[in-house]
Structures are given as structure tokens and as C-alpha cells.
Amino acid sequence: MVMKSTAIAHPMQGLLKYHGLKDWDLRIPYHDSISVTLDSLWTKTSVEFGNFENDEIFIDGKQYDGSVRDRALDIINTIRDLSQIEDNVKIFSSNSIKLGEVKGLGFSSSGGAALATAGFKAAKLDEEYGWDLKKISTIARRLAGSASRSVTGFYSRWYAGTDDESSYSQNFADSKNLDISMIAIPFQSTITTEEAHKEVETSQFFDSRLVSANKRVGELENAIIDGNFDKFGKLVELDSLELHSITMTGISRHVLFNENTIKIIKYVKQKQQENIPVYFSMQTGPSIFINTLPEHADDIFSDLSGFGFNCIRSKIGGPATIVND
């Protein structure tokens, strides 16, 4: 019996970002978070269970061991436990941009989502649970917290919860509510997202961050549902700056902005002075996303490309899906 399946998932832009984990084993965060997926970027992953000598994972044609393999097997072992499968696994994954070529575009989220979705189908867990994206999101969370939101796609909210079952993602809106164009500009980071997450509790402002994030998440969700782009943009910008303030005031005092990050922020602020609806968003690193309305995307993309930046344009993406091999 063939136990193989292939899935595609899209990386996400964090809009209200989670920062830090209260349970590292289950990867459960301190508060809820919201994201949107990028249609133009993707990860495609095939999972096959069989009588193989070892578990193996290949990404963009290269075999991986160490932490990459271990995090992938966190998902696979969860699937094995649910399905009672004892076979070894082969994983083949590819990205729209090769792993390592850019940082800060959320490919750990699409990688975890595609792996969990393909593994769920390959193990025939859909025959027991139905096609349950909520359930798949709890599995994807084992590799990267944001992978839970890439499973459900569109605009999704990851409910922090308190245990494995209650920490899941659910989409709540799509482009019919709020249609945006996104421009991603990746830059290399000096630290990993994991390193940033591990230091949040050392910031004297972390408790205040939890209060404001818990308040802001409902405001942002409502702004998206209502199609209020200006409120959406202002809330996302505020959350980005607050997130980086925590990283800057942690024990290592990481300042992850670079000169190009600042240049782009100043460009956005100038456009806002010209009454152009455009806002920036950042995750834990110097990479930056620009959010605007579709009718302004061409001009903004042209401006930023003219500065010499590697710009990636995208519409809103959907949930993880099964595809033919």
C-alpha cells in the first residue's frame, strides 16, 4: 500500500507577531497572533512512509541532518503517534526560493505547513479525522509556531491556548474582506528567530508587550474583517515597532534594523505624508514587508526596485493543499 502524498503551502507575513514561547516542547506562545499568507511564494513537500533504512529529508536537492532534520521529525513523530505507523519516512521538499538564499520570508512556516499537510494525508489521518485544517495546524506547530497559520492560510489567527489541542490556527477572512498587495524585501539577519524568541523574557517591557498584544489582536482582527485598511496598517506598524523594542531591550540588546531597513521605513513615512495608503511590517529581523492597496502596488514596487532592493511582490495566498505528485 502506497503511503505517499505531496502538499503545497505558502509562507506568511506576521501581522500581529508572537514573540517567545511559554512551552518550548509544544511550541505554545504567550499570546494569540495573526498573519496573512503570500501567494507568490511556496514550499512543496512530498512525504512517503515505507520500509526504508532510515528517516531522510532532502530540501532543494540537499540532504539535511542535525536541527533541520530533528524539527521535521517532530512533525513526523506526531503523525506516527496519531496513526500508529512505525515505518521510516522519506521527505522531499523544494521552495520557490532555495533554502538559505534569503532570510526573513517565513519559509519555516510554509515548510512546516506543507510537511504536516502531506504527512497527514500520507498517513491517511484524513480517514479518521476528516480534512481537518485545525488538526493539521496543531501538528505543523511542532516545527515552527507560524507554520500553524500557514496551514490555514488567508488571514489566520493562531490561538495560543494552553495545551496541544487548544493551540491551533483558524482563518477568519480573505481578500473579499481586505484585499492588499504585499512587497517583501528580504535581508540577512545576524541572529535566528529562535535566538530572539529565547530572550524576550529578559526585556523589562515584556509584560507590557503581553498586555498590548492581547488587546491589539482583537482590534486587528476586526479591522481586517471590516476591510479597514488604514486601521489595519497602523496596528501592524505599531506591533512591528513594539516587537523590535522587546528584542532591543533583551539581555543581548539586539538591534536588527540595518541601514536599508531604515531607508525603507523613511520612504514609507514620506509616502504617508503624500496620503498614499502604504504601511510597513517587520518580523524578528531586518527584512521588511510593505502593505498597500492593489492600485498603488505598481508605483511602490517600481520605487523600491529602483533603490536596488530585491523586491518580491505578492497577493494573498490560501491554505495548504494536496497536489498531484
Q: What is the pLDDT of residue 64?
A: 92
User: Could you state, in chain order, the average pLDDT of each consecutive group of 10 residues for the chain (325 residues)?
Assistant: 90 93 92 97 96 93 91 95 95 83 76 97 96 97 94 98 96 98 88 78 92 96 98 97 91 86 96 98 90 97 95 97 88
pLDDT at 114: 98
Residue 1: predicted pLDDT: 63
> What is the number of other CB atoms lying within 10 angstroms of the CB of residue 275?
6
Listed in sequence order, the residues at least 6 apart from 246 whose beta carbon sits closer than 8 Å to its beta carbon are: 19, 200, 203, 205, 206, 209
- The single residue listed with the C-alpha cell 503511503 is 3
Question: What is the CATH class of 181-314?
Answer: alpha beta
- CATH ID of 3-173, from 3.30.1330.10, 3.30.230.10, 1.10.1040.10, 3.90.1200.10: 3.30.230.10
What are the residue boundaries of the structural domains of the chain, listed by start?
A: 3-173, 181-314
If you ran DSSP here, which 8-state letter would residue 201 be given?
G
The torsion angles phi and psi of 258, rounded to 5 degrees, stand at -120, 180
pLDDT of residue 107: 83
For the sheet with 12-16, list strands across it. Answer: 12-16, 33-37, 155-159, 168-173
Identify the H or E element spanning 27.
Answer: none
Q: Cα 79 vs. chain centroid, distance in angstroms?
A: 21
Q: Please report the pLDDT score of residue 270 as a whole number.
A: 97
Please state, in angstroms and rounded to a whole number, the distance separating the CA atoms of residues 17 and 13: 9
